[in-house]
Structure 1
């Protein structure tokens, strides 16, 4: 019996900015229920890959399918409504919305598969947000903003959650809370794509890793394989 098509399947992605091409034939599979990482040094194409997957950057070549549907030419809002949510680099919380308003403004139960991420469940995941629910986005610490960005994405009940630099610039204690959250999401079966530099923590979390170098996939494999090949770390990850 043939294996089922991954929830998201990208083939030979080509993309760039103006006259500069950044991606040169990237392939990426994200099976349902798995956590996949996209790794590499800064400037190697990770964020460009994400922008291409969510429709924020036009494809120059190749294809992206999500749930069996071709995404080429779809606007980011249309792709989001199919069930793709992103926690963007820099968090991008709205300064003039309260925590509660952030979580209600983007709420969508249509994609809910496991009981749905309603306000009560989001507050249970991040109790600090409940304590700060009437604070504006610009009144939160960096760690609280990251929690809010994750909760906001979950409020859409996504089929695929994408986290771009999930723990960048956070204090160690806050990073631990984010890792706890991601482990809980995995246990719940949330399909996730993660970009992050803390490889040791990703080994325990992810099912599969994809390494980019200059816009090309140069290595991919399981956590056990990545853990056992520290040459990959030195060559491509700067570790």
Structure 2
């Protein structure tokens, strides 16, 4: 079915080019050729949505084949054959298709939010704090901290600050004690204790450790959904 669709598209585009070239208007012929190139690239991408074949090359081939078919029809049925502008149209059609393919390819390439280098789905991750796509290079993704280096440097907070969110997960604020991570006292930091070993940490440090107790590895229940893809996966240790 796809082959029939490709042939039909090429024939229709070739017929359009033939009809325009017979009008004898050079500018119109060249503009039509460019339009056929753009249309060929778009049609091939539409017909081959799964991209089982190289879209750039095939878009160029379809554009060139369609315009050449138009010139062939012109040579067979119109006296005088084709002029130089008609042949230039073949080049313009192929060039327009190639340009469209390159632009689409460039837009489809994902780049790392931090280093701006290209990345693939296999070597990238969405930062749970800023929701930006970053590559797994050590300078971009802090695997043990589950955040990108940008969020790490800016100390972006993920956990809500509402008392209700914390109260149902860790209990009420401690009136005394010291955070065992940053060593701030209860008077200057909002301390919450671990649900298993009762180690106290301030809310900011619980957030820094992604809700996991550094001592016994107990985790705060019902963590923010942004962390769900990382719970129990190997990406926690990726650097």
Q: Shared fold by TM > 0.5?
A: no
TM range (shorter): under 0.3
Q: Which has the higher helix share?
A: 2
* TM-score, normalised relative to structure 1: 0.25
**Structure number with bigger Rg:** 2
More strand by share: 1
Determine which structure has greater relative contact order: mean sequence separation of CA pairs < 8 Å that are 6+ residues apart, divided by chain length: 1
